[in-house]
Amino acid sequence: MVGQSLQKNKRVKLLYVGSRQGIERKLSKDFQIPFQAIITGKRRNYFSLSNIWDIFKIFCGIIQAFFILFFFRPNVVFAKGGYVTVPIIFWLKLFKIPLVIHESDVMVGRANLWALKYAEKVCLGFPLEYYSQKLPLEKLIYTGIPVSPEFKQTSIKEEGRPKILITGGSQGSSKINDLISEILPELINRFEIYHLSGHRDFEKLQKFKNPNYHLFDFSLEMPKFMRDADLIITRAGASTLTEIAAVGKPSIIIPLETAANEHQVGNAQVFQKINAAVVCSEKNLTANSLKTIINHLMADEKTRDLLGHHAKSFFRPDAAEEIINTIFEVVRK
């Protein structure tokens, strides 16, 4: 969303640097932003022969980054974290290029923790009081997380069965899919189900044939599905939680407990603290206990409205503009 907004300024020239195998290339193509692929490696906390190969890849990425910066000569670098940012940030002091980073999660990722010392400003997706790590307060600014304008639109409530949206994020969640498949016959007798399963489990879930069950591996209609939903069942990715906040909907959050830095657990705890969602530990969650929670919430409109209202209070509608203002402020220094 930041790139899209910056594109509207004719004086701004953009270059999107991302990994060869990531989603970055597709995003840049969709938004018509020039793209430069860079080789990336990953540092692991355990022994693996892959570490040796990744050291070589990191070195190659650093060499690539030098030439990207040398020829493009940006006035500022905006980084979203992840290992793909490391080679670029490595050279910024040499080229005297200022850095603005954005951290979506409430647990700052390893790459961004390393980048903090080089950054002029650090834009945060959550309010400052929820960050437990030691961070340089003078650099921090709470901007929130940008979302697509479609999430900010309003929908007219349609007649018919209550709607439940189930999503495991962009890759899908086998844990959520397995739980839902056990109770799906009962759910589709009472509710209209929209299920974004991801590619992995899509085929096996196709056995459930019912006009009240709408199965997708991926859909561009997510904003509409969220706006129309009476309840959302989801993982705890920061972007997904922000989209839920944008539409002001109640949710059952099942954080991925094996995610790096336990960042999904941290994100979910923020929503739990402000009473914006029901949070379930995936270790202890069974299909029957999930069904009980769903039935309880679907029978209690007042509680659903309260959860949705609290979620909405978390949303920052001008997040993209605040990030862009921060970037321009750093450039003007």
pLDDT digits (tens, 9 = 90+) for 221-259: 999 999 999 999 999 999 999 999 999 999 999 999 988
**Residues 95, 69 contacting (CB under 8 angstroms):** yes
> What is the CATH superfamily name and number for domain 150-313?
Glycogen Phosphorylase B; (3.40.50.2000)
Domain ranges of the chain: 2-145+317-332, 150-313
Give the distance from CA 44 to its chain's centroid: 22
Report pLDDT digits (tens) over 14-54.
Answer: 999 998 877 788 788 888 899 999 988 776 565 666 777 77
- Does the annotation place 174 within a ligand binding site? no
Binding residue per annotation — 36? no
Model confidence pLDDT, tens digit, residues 152-202: 888 777 788 999 999 987 677 889 999 999 999 999 999 999 999 988 888
Residue 23: strand, helix, or coil: coil
Collect all residues with Cβ–Cβ distance below 8 Å to 198 and sequence separation of at least 6. 168, 169, 170, 171, 172, 173, 177, 217, 218
Total residue count of the chain as it appears in this document: 333
Same fold, 2-145+317-332 and 150-313: yes
Per-residue pLDDT tens digits for 264-312 = 999 999 999 999 999 999 998 999 999 999 999 999 999 999 999 999 9
> Could you say which architecture CATH assigns to the domain 2-145+317-332?
3-Layer(aba) Sandwich (3.40)
Q: What is the pLDDT of residue 136?
A: 94
